[in-house]
Amino acid sequence: MGISRSSRHKRSATGAQRAHYRKKRKFELGRQPASTKLGPKRIHSVRVRGGNLKYRALRLESGNFAWASEHTTRKTRIIGVVYNASNNELVRTNTLVKSAIIQIDATPFRQWYEAHYAQPITKKGAKAQVPAGEEAVKKSSHVLRKLEERKKEAKIDPLLEQQFLAGRLYAAISSRPGQSGRADGYVLEGKELEFYIRKLRSGKQKHAHNA
Protein backbone atom coordinates (compact mmCIF):
# COMPACT_ATOMS: atom_id res chain seq x y z
CA MET A 1 0.00 0.00 0.00
CA GLY A 2 1.45 3.37 -1.04
CA ILE A 3 1.31 6.49 1.12
CA SER A 4 -1.75 8.55 0.22
CA ARG A 5 -2.75 12.13 1.05
CA SER A 6 -6.35 11.51 0.08
CA SER A 7 -9.03 12.21 2.69
CA ARG A 8 -11.54 9.78 1.10
CA HIS A 9 -10.95 7.26 3.90
CA LYS A 10 -11.77 9.82 6.60
CA ARG A 11 -15.21 10.42 8.06
CA SER A 12 -17.13 13.57 7.18
CA ALA A 13 -17.57 16.45 9.64
CA THR A 14 -20.84 14.91 10.88
CA GLY A 15 -19.22 11.50 11.44
CA ALA A 16 -20.62 9.69 8.38
CA GLN A 17 -18.39 7.17 6.58
CA ARG A 18 -17.73 8.20 3.00
CA ALA A 19 -18.51 5.76 0.18
CA HIS A 20 -15.55 4.05 -1.57
CA TYR A 21 -16.18 4.94 -5.17
CA ARG A 22 -12.60 4.89 -6.53
CA LYS A 23 -9.10 3.62 -5.90
CA LYS A 24 -6.05 5.71 -5.06
CA ARG A 25 -4.89 8.29 -7.60
CA LYS A 26 -1.37 9.36 -8.57
CA PHE A 27 -2.12 12.99 -7.69
CA GLU A 28 -3.00 11.93 -4.11
CA LEU A 29 0.35 10.27 -3.46
CA GLY A 30 2.56 11.00 -0.46
CA ARG A 31 6.27 10.20 -0.02
CA GLN A 32 8.49 8.97 2.80
CA PRO A 33 9.47 11.71 5.32
CA ALA A 34 12.91 13.24 4.77
CA SER A 35 13.88 13.08 8.49
CA THR A 36 16.65 15.62 7.92
CA LYS A 37 19.51 15.04 10.37
CA LEU A 38 22.51 17.10 11.47
CA GLY A 39 25.66 16.39 9.48
CA PRO A 40 27.64 17.25 6.34
CA LYS A 41 25.25 18.61 3.69
CA ARG A 42 23.54 15.92 1.61
CA ILE A 43 20.59 16.87 -0.62
CA HIS A 44 18.71 14.70 -3.12
CA SER A 45 16.50 16.13 -5.85
CA VAL A 46 13.06 14.55 -6.34
CA ARG A 47 11.10 14.85 -9.60
CA VAL A 48 7.51 15.79 -8.73
CA ARG A 49 4.21 16.62 -10.43
CA GLY A 50 4.54 18.90 -13.44
CA GLY A 51 8.22 18.01 -13.96
CA ASN A 52 9.19 20.27 -11.05
CA LEU A 53 11.94 19.47 -8.56
CA LYS A 54 11.89 19.31 -4.78
CA TYR A 55 15.11 19.23 -2.81
CA ARG A 56 15.10 16.59 -0.11
CA ALA A 57 17.70 17.53 2.54
CA LEU A 58 18.91 14.33 4.21
CA ARG A 59 21.65 16.08 6.24
CA LEU A 60 22.32 19.75 6.92
CA GLU A 61 24.80 21.55 9.17
CA SER A 62 24.12 25.28 8.58
CA GLY A 63 21.49 27.78 7.46
CA ASN A 64 20.65 31.47 7.06
CA PHE A 65 19.12 32.97 10.19
CA ALA A 66 17.55 36.43 10.53
CA TRP A 67 17.96 38.64 13.59
CA ALA A 68 14.73 40.58 13.06
CA SER A 69 15.19 43.41 15.58
CA GLU A 70 18.61 44.26 14.08
CA HIS A 71 17.49 43.74 10.44
CA THR A 72 20.38 41.43 9.62
CA THR A 73 20.78 37.85 8.40
CA ARG A 74 23.83 35.62 8.78
CA LYS A 75 24.77 32.12 7.72
CA THR A 76 25.65 30.11 10.81
CA ARG A 77 26.23 26.58 12.10
CA ILE A 78 23.35 24.58 13.59
CA ILE A 79 24.39 23.04 16.93
CA GLY A 80 21.36 20.91 17.82
CA VAL A 81 17.59 20.59 18.26
CA VAL A 82 16.34 21.55 21.74
CA TYR A 83 12.52 21.56 21.46
CA ASN A 84 9.78 20.35 19.17
CA ALA A 85 6.12 20.90 20.01
CA SER A 86 4.98 17.85 18.02
CA ASN A 87 7.32 15.07 19.13
CA ASN A 88 10.18 14.68 21.66
CA GLU A 89 11.63 11.90 19.50
CA LEU A 90 12.57 14.56 16.92
CA VAL A 91 14.61 16.33 19.64
CA ARG A 92 16.39 13.14 20.72
CA THR A 93 17.34 12.26 17.13
CA ASN A 94 18.26 15.88 16.18
CA THR A 95 15.75 15.91 13.29
CA LEU A 96 15.41 19.25 11.48
CA VAL A 97 11.81 20.13 10.57
CA LYS A 98 9.85 23.36 10.17
CA SER A 99 9.12 25.13 13.50
CA ALA A 100 11.74 23.09 15.39
CA ILE A 101 13.54 25.13 18.08
CA ILE A 102 17.29 24.79 17.65
CA GLN A 103 20.56 26.22 18.97
CA ILE A 104 22.85 28.02 16.52
CA ASP A 105 26.38 29.39 16.76
CA ALA A 106 26.26 33.04 17.92
CA THR A 107 29.70 34.03 16.51
CA PRO A 108 28.58 35.53 13.12
CA PHE A 109 25.95 37.68 14.88
CA ARG A 110 28.40 38.79 17.60
CA GLN A 111 31.00 39.76 14.97
CA TRP A 112 28.38 41.74 13.00
CA TYR A 113 27.14 43.56 16.15
CA GLU A 114 30.63 44.51 17.28
CA ALA A 115 31.54 45.80 13.81
CA HIS A 116 28.22 47.66 13.36
CA TYR A 117 28.10 49.36 16.78
CA ALA A 118 31.87 49.41 17.52
CA GLN A 119 31.26 48.11 21.03
CA PRO A 120 31.16 44.66 22.70
CA ILE A 121 27.83 42.85 22.72
CA THR A 122 28.12 41.82 26.41
CA LYS A 123 29.39 43.57 29.54
CA LYS A 124 32.02 40.86 29.99
CA GLY A 125 33.25 41.55 26.46
CA ALA A 126 33.72 45.21 27.41
CA LYS A 127 36.35 44.21 29.99
CA ALA A 128 38.40 42.31 27.39
CA GLN A 129 39.95 45.32 25.68
CA VAL A 130 42.25 45.25 22.63
CA PRO A 131 45.60 43.61 23.60
CA ALA A 132 48.49 46.05 24.19
CA GLY A 133 50.46 44.83 21.13
CA GLU A 134 47.64 45.60 18.65
CA GLU A 135 46.93 49.09 17.39
CA ALA A 136 43.35 50.34 17.06
CA VAL A 137 42.28 50.98 13.45
CA LYS A 138 42.06 54.72 12.75
CA LYS A 139 38.59 55.94 11.71
CA SER A 140 37.58 59.18 10.03
CA SER A 141 35.52 61.75 11.96
CA HIS A 142 32.52 60.96 9.71
CA VAL A 143 32.69 57.26 10.61
CA LEU A 144 33.12 58.09 14.31
CA ARG A 145 30.04 60.36 14.25
CA LYS A 146 28.04 57.61 12.52
CA LEU A 147 29.12 55.04 15.15
CA GLU A 148 28.20 57.40 18.00
CA GLU A 149 24.70 57.78 16.54
CA ARG A 150 24.38 53.99 16.28
CA LYS A 151 25.53 53.47 19.87
CA LYS A 152 22.53 55.47 21.10
CA GLU A 153 20.22 52.75 19.72
CA ALA A 154 22.42 49.78 20.69
CA LYS A 155 20.19 47.95 23.16
CA ILE A 156 20.08 44.20 23.58
CA ASP A 157 17.59 41.94 25.36
CA PRO A 158 19.08 40.56 28.67
CA LEU A 159 17.98 37.03 27.65
CA LEU A 160 19.85 37.38 24.35
CA GLU A 161 22.89 38.77 26.18
CA GLN A 162 23.04 35.62 28.33
CA GLN A 163 22.95 33.50 25.19
CA PHE A 164 25.74 35.53 23.56
CA LEU A 165 27.86 34.90 26.68
CA ALA A 166 27.32 31.15 26.18
CA GLY A 167 28.03 31.50 22.43
CA ARG A 168 24.71 29.88 21.41
CA LEU A 169 21.40 31.42 20.34
CA TYR A 170 17.92 29.87 20.27
CA ALA A 171 16.35 29.98 16.81
CA ALA A 172 13.30 28.59 15.00
CA ILE A 173 13.40 26.93 11.57
CA SER A 174 10.92 28.58 9.19
CA SER A 175 11.82 26.76 5.96
CA ARG A 176 10.91 23.14 5.13
CA PRO A 177 14.17 21.14 4.88
CA GLY A 178 12.48 18.14 3.25
CA GLN A 179 10.93 20.30 0.49
CA SER A 180 13.39 23.15 -0.16
CA GLY A 181 16.64 21.50 0.97
CA ARG A 182 17.38 24.39 3.35
CA ALA A 183 17.21 24.97 7.11
CA ASP A 184 16.67 28.73 7.32
CA GLY A 185 14.93 30.57 10.12
CA TYR A 186 15.07 33.38 12.65
CA VAL A 187 16.61 34.12 16.05
CA LEU A 188 14.09 33.93 18.90
CA GLU A 189 13.56 37.13 20.89
CA GLY A 190 10.96 38.93 22.99
CA LYS A 191 7.80 37.11 24.12
CA GLU A 192 8.48 34.13 21.85
CA LEU A 193 11.92 33.56 23.41
CA GLU A 194 10.45 33.82 26.93
CA PHE A 195 7.76 31.28 26.00
CA TYR A 196 10.25 28.67 24.71
CA ILE A 197 12.67 29.18 27.63
CA ARG A 198 9.74 28.41 29.99
CA LYS A 199 8.93 25.29 27.94
CA LEU A 200 12.55 24.11 28.04
CA ARG A 201 12.81 24.65 31.81
CA SER A 202 9.53 22.82 32.54
CA GLY A 203 10.70 19.94 30.33
CA LYS A 204 13.98 19.63 32.28
CA GLN A 205 12.09 19.65 35.61
CA LYS A 206 9.81 16.82 34.40
CA HIS A 207 12.82 14.71 33.38
CA ALA A 208 14.47 15.39 36.77
CA HIS A 209 11.33 14.17 38.63
CA ASN A 210 11.07 11.04 36.46
CA ALA A 211 14.75 10.12 36.89
Q: What is the per-residue pLDDT for 103?
A: 96
Overall average pLDDT of the 179-206 stretch = 90
Distance, in Å, from the CA atom of 186 to the CA atom of 171, rounded to the nearest integer, reads 6
Q: How confident is the model at residue 152 (pLDDT cuts 50, 70, 90)?
A: low
Strands (E), 15-140: 36-38, 42-47, 53-60, 62-67, 72-83, 95-96, 101-105
54-75 b/e (C-beta count within 10 Å ≥ 16 → b):
bbbbbebeebebbbeebeebbe
171: nearest Cα among 64, 94, 91:
64
Q: What tens digit of pLDDT does each residue of 137-150 get?
A: 777 777 777 777 66
Whole-model pTM: value is 0.84
Q: Is the pLDDT of residue 131 over 60?
A: no
pLDDT tens-place string over residues 87-102? 999 999 999 999 999 9
Residue 177 has pLDDT above 70, yes or no: yes
pLDDT number for residue 210: 61
> Which of the four pLDDT bands, split at 50, 70 and 90, describes residue 170?
very high
Tens digit of each residue's pLDDT (9 = 90 or more) over 24-50: 999 999 999 999 999 999 999 999 999
Structure confidence at residue 93 (pLDDT): 95
Give me the phi and psi of 81, to 5 degrees please. Answer: -90, 130
pLDDT the model gives residue 119: 80
pLDDT tens per residue, range 59-76: 999 999 999 988 999 999
pLDDT value of position 127: 55
Please name the helix (run of DSSP H) or strand (run of DSSP E) that holds residue 168, with its range, or none.
Answer: strand 168-173
